[in-house]
Structure 1
Amino acid sequence: MTSYIPLRRTPIRERASVLFLEHGNIDRDDGGLVLIDADGRTPIPVAGLTCLMLEPGTRISHAAVKLCAELGCLIVWTGEGGVRIYSATEPGGASARHLLHQARIALDDTLRLNVVRAMYAFRFGEEAPQRRSIEQLRGMEGVRVREAYKRLAAEHGVDWQGRNYDSKQWRAADVPNKCLSAATACLYGLAEAAILAAGYAPSIGFLHSGNPRAFVFDVADLFKFETVVPAAFKIAGAIARGEDPRPDRPSAYQRGRESAAQKEVRPDVAVRHACRDAFRRERTLDLIVPAIHDMLAASGVEAPADAPEAGPPAIPVTEEAA
């Protein structure tokens, strides 16, 4: 039986963000992963990844899943374009203190409202109006989001008919909605990985509720208008003008040698590249976990102390925790 040397987990703030794989078989190759497809074998630096997003054209071995769990790389199985999440791994945590803290706040209406108000202030740069319920703040947020979509659409020359798409019918959506769906999918994967790394539960939300990824939506909303939403509208605008929107678009010589399939501009692929660059530029991975701690601290209650038998986190957040 093959045995492997235990591998050291890279702190989440030092990792790359999200890698999407559309086609091929993923297997373990010594201390890393390899993608096997028609083009051959491509190494995947899994130790330096936060999240691996697998679309319907992929298959992954038991050994590969085990390695991802050992290294703390979240695996998410998605639909076409990454817009529908079917399942995800969970690295687990050795301490439940943050989970207990999160649950306590969510079960107390006053504490939960404090957190929602802090999220509102974080997103919009101003205090939430007084004497508003969570439902009212959610409605106010929705209005501001729709206005932001219209503003970005006008800025980038996008024909925006509103947020309208069916996750089961990816191909039926218009280009702006495809771009926005692909962009938010990238951020959701990143946010979920950070939430799990910090020892919180993706399902226990504050503004959002009743969804297995309610807290993922809460956290992603804090960052989407600084990262993925502008990227989505920028790509959609470039496509509308007939431009090549890829950040690393090929030279004229390379375009002349591309096949018809390679020349086809896919909105989801272009958006993923733009989101990757936005995450790196805005240092999103460095900011997510501290933002979560700050939002929950606004509740006014402190997290409980670790139990004596608690071990280190499943995924280290900093070098000291590794």
Structure 2
Amino acid sequence: MDYFKPSEMKTIMHSKRANMYYLEYCRILVNGGRVEFAAEAGRKINYYNIPIANTTVILLGNGTSITQAAVRDLAKAGVLIGFCGGGGVPLFSAMEQDTDIVWFCPQSEYRPTQYLQQWAGFWYDPARRLKAANIFQTARTAMIRKHWSKLAKDPENCFDHNDRQLEQVLDIFEKNIDVCADTENLLLEEARLTKNLYRLTAKAVEYGSFERAKRGEGGDSANRFLDHGNYLAYGLAATAAWVLGLPHGFSVLHGKTRRGGLVFDIADIVKDALIMPNAFISAMRGDTEQQFRQSCIDALVQAEALDTMIDTVKLASIEASRAEA
């Protein structure tokens, strides 16, 4: 069988791709030159095509297997592959800690180098690294303002947040980060913001008291949905970093002792705006994991989340590089 070449496949920019897949209890393989997943239906086995040229991330959950040929073709198409536990929430890994997801990035040496060169140029300077982190946080608050307002206008969501309180929280955060002397202080401000946003979100849907559980510890439905949805954002963030040729270890705010810190930095641009409110809305509606996952994917696609991530990283790279050392 003749295998396709990357040049033979219509190229779709990663930021314009539509699909993220979570697969479980199936086998991913190459069948007739196409990447498909095979799922049992009684005595039959059904085959479903995966449009790899229009796919960003594939999460492989419980009971999945994948062939070497499928991994090769997914890599050629630039698709990130992650192994996770049930419902999209990672419970194990092959190379990291037990609660971390593993992203297998396509190995292409012909990605752009300009952003890596700019990033490396400023990353070792704490002041310029702080500037890049501030740009991420500014994009984060802009996304919250834009998308919380949209959610509130849709009566089906029952998301009645207090505009005045939200603006007050965001204004205080933006003023405080402008005067932060280092990333440690910025992390403290970010923790305060997140805590306030949890409070406002729970109040907006009349969820009652809420306390964020540690990752992987489960808890109530809102906590489980937050864990699940956040990993969708991490998948897009890993894609954004890969597209721009940036190693995940070059974080500007989170996890400087861990390889994936930049993924967490980038994911924060959209998590509070899109994942957090949907987690509480789905919890109040009694949605299943699948229904919540679909609502998150729809929100991420409609908000052009990957575009926003890539544009923000580009801006941070350029602006921090230009800043005075």
Give CA-to-partner distance per residue, 1:245-265, whole Å, 9 cap, x none: 3xxxxxxxxxxxxxxxxxxxx
Q: Is the 8 A contact 2:116 2:246 kept in 1?
A: yes
1:21 and 2:23 are equivalent in the alignment? yes
TM-score, normalization: structure 1?
Answer: 0.79
Aligned pairs (5 A) from 1:23-102 = 23-39=25-41, 40-84=46-90, 85-91=100-106, 92-94=108-110, 95-102=112-119
List gaps (5 residues or longer) in structure 1.
240-244, 246-265, 303-322
Q: 2:232 aligns with which of 186, 211, 233?
A: 186
Instruction: Write the letter of the residue equivalent to 2:249.
Output: S
The residue aligned with 2:128 is: 111
Q: 2:271 aligns with which of 207, 224, 237?
A: 224
The residue aligned with 1:212 is: 259
Runs of 4+ in 1 over 6 A off after TM superposition: none
TM-score, normalization: structure 2?
Answer: 0.78
Instruction: Write the letter of the residue equivalent to 2:103.
Output: A
Secondary structure of the structure 1 residue equivalent to 2:227: helix
Instruction: Write the letter of the residue equivalent to 1:216.
Output: V
Residues in 1 aligned to 2:210 and 2:307: alpha-carbon distance in whole angstroms = 35
The residue aligned with 2:281 is: 234
RMSD: 1.9
The residue aligned with 1:253 is: none
Q: Is the 8 A contact 1:13 1:286 kept in 2?
A: yes
Residues in 2 aligned to 1:154 and 1:132: alpha-carbon distance in whole angstroms = 33
Residues in 1 aligned to 2:188 and 2:308: alpha-carbon distance in whole angstroms = 26
Residues in 1 aligned to 2:105 and 2:201: alpha-carbon distance in whole angstroms = 35
Secondary structure of the structure 1 residue equivalent to 2:25: strand
Give CA-to-partner distance per residue, 1:285-321, whole Å, 9 cap, x none: 222211111122221439xxxxxxxxxxxxxxxxxxx
Residues in 1 aligned to 2:74 and 2:84: alpha-carbon distance in whole angstroms = 17
List gaps (5 residues or longer) in structure 2.
91-99, 143-173
Instruction: Return closer, same or farther for 1:82/1:112 CA change in 2, 3 Å cut-off.
Output: same
Secondary structure of the structure 1 residue equivalent to 2:272: coil
Tell me how far 1:181 sits from its aligned partner.
0.6
Secondary structure of the structure 1 residue equivalent to 2:233: helix
Instruction: Write the letter of the residue equivalent to 2:2.
Output: S
Which protein has greater RCO, CA pairs closer than 8 Å, 6+ apart?
1
Structure 1, 139-148 or 280-289: larger mean CA deviation: 280-289
Q: Is the 8 A contact 1:54 1:75 kept in 2?
A: yes
Secondary structure of the structure 1 residue equivalent to 2:247: coil
The residue aligned with 2:2 is: 3
Tell me how far 1:201 sits from its aligned partner.
1.4
Q: 2:219 aligns with which of 173, 178, 203?
A: 173
The residue aligned with 2:244 is: 198
Tell me how far 1:49 sits from its aligned partner.
0.4
Residues in 2 aligned to 1:155 and 1:35: alpha-carbon distance in whole angstroms = 40
Instruction: Return closer, same or farther for 1:130/1:143 CA change in 2, 3 Å cut-off.
Output: same
Secondary structure of the structure 1 residue equivalent to 2:307: helix
The residue aligned with 1:12 is: 14
The residue aligned with 1:281 is: 302
Q: Is the 8 A contact 1:93 1:199 kept in 2?
A: no
Q: Aligned residues, how many?
A: 272
Secondary structure of the structure 2 residue equivalent to 1:38: strand
Residues in 2 aligned to 1:166 and 1:24: alpha-carbon distance in whole angstroms = 27
Residues in 1 aligned to 2:140 and 2:38: alpha-carbon distance in whole angstroms = 42
Tell me how far 1:160 sits from its aligned partner.
4.0
Q: 1:157 aligns with which of 206, 210, 213?
A: 206
Secondary structure of the structure 1 residue equivalent to 2:199: helix
Q: Is the 8 A contact 2:140 2:273 kept in 1?
A: no
Secondary structure of the structure 2 residue equivalent to 1:28: strand
Tell me how far 1:165 sits from its aligned partner.
3.5
Tell me how far 1:138 sits from its aligned partner.
0.7
Instruction: Write the letter of the residue equivalent to 1:3.
Output: D
Residues in 1 aligned to 2:125 and 2:197: alpha-carbon distance in whole angstroms = 32
Instruction: Return closer, same or farther for 1:17/1:205 CA change in 2, 3 Å cut-off.
Output: farther
Secondary structure of the structure 2 residue equivalent to 1:298: helix
